[in-house]
Amino acid sequence: MIVVTEFMDEGGLARLREAHEVTYDPKLVDDPARVLALAPQAKALVVRNRTQVRGELLGALGNCKAVGRLGVGLDNIDVEGCGARGIEVIPATGANARSVAEYVIAAAMLLLRGAYSSTAAVASGQWPRDPLSNGREISGKVLGLVGYGAIGRLTGELADALGMTLLAHDPAIAGSVPLDNLLANSDVVSVHVPLTESTRNLFDASRIGRMKRGAVLINTSRGGIVDEVALATALRSGALGGAALDVFAQEPLRAAPHFDGVPNLLLTPHVAGLTSESIVRVGDVVATGVLRVLARHG
């Protein structure tokens, strides 16, 4: 049996069902006792980002050969623990890269221009032309990419096509720019790193303070990397010119009074990688990987 605890595209589910019995409930993640009861029977487990594959649940996966991750971040999965139990972890590497890259570019354009929140004012008879005439073009600006994996590279390609200059900080690549240099020179900083002990709170008040005045910060990677209170403070003071957060230290985000009335701030509910197209691609990649592993094990 394959257990799918969160939303999966019907095409990917159909492929799994052709070869195996599938237990699927997109709200199963909210019933951990049921997930735990199903775990011993699972030959494969398919999750998104909310199901925590560690501890008691991981220990109960006695017959499991594969954990499919409908996305790319693995901080909700004990990868080392899975490996020790002979469980292969299958992320949907690259399948949602374009969706995230397009989100980053769109957010950067919105925040730099600053002219797209005037609908209510204009419709009510106001004409805020003067205050909205000082927006900035994206062409000619510097994009700093913190992390230069598949998503970072594709974001860079889209930015390059719009006339941006690119800087990248990633210890794994040759020619990586020191982080402080990147922050001091970038008009837009986009974060593309996993949440680890070394990246947790990477953008604290001190590091945000090293960013170029008026710069825009975009985080589509993981919550916990950007200090949300410090970010809100920098936006209120004018030190930063804008920010977009798609991920948060706690998800779903609870009431967050530190964000109330913060200017030029975009908050979205962890959807940068979710489009109708990417959902299909992600489901297909994970289904392919899970079926391959299970076929190998008979």
Catalytic residues: 222, 251, 270
Please give the torsion angle defined by the CA atoms of residues 273, 228, 242 and 100, in that order, rounded to the nearest 10 degrees: -10
CA distance 129 to 108: 21
Q: Are 226 and 207 in contact (CB under 8 A)?
A: no
What's the DSSP call for residue 177? P
Q: Is 183 left (phi over 0), alpha (psi -120 to 50) or beta?
A: alpha
**Residue 130: Cβ-neighbour burial (10 angstroms; 0-12, 13-18, 19+):** exposed
Q: What is the DSSP string of 115-158?
A: -TT-HHHHHTT---TTTTS----STTPEEEEE--SHHHHHHHHH
Q: At what angle do helices 10-19 and 276-296 cross, to 10 degrees?
A: 20
Interior CA angle at 272 toward 266 and 274, to 5°?
140
Amino acid at 268: T
CA distance 120 to 184: 36
Which of 9, 4, 3, 5 has its CA nearest to residue 274?
9
CA distance 228 to 249: 8
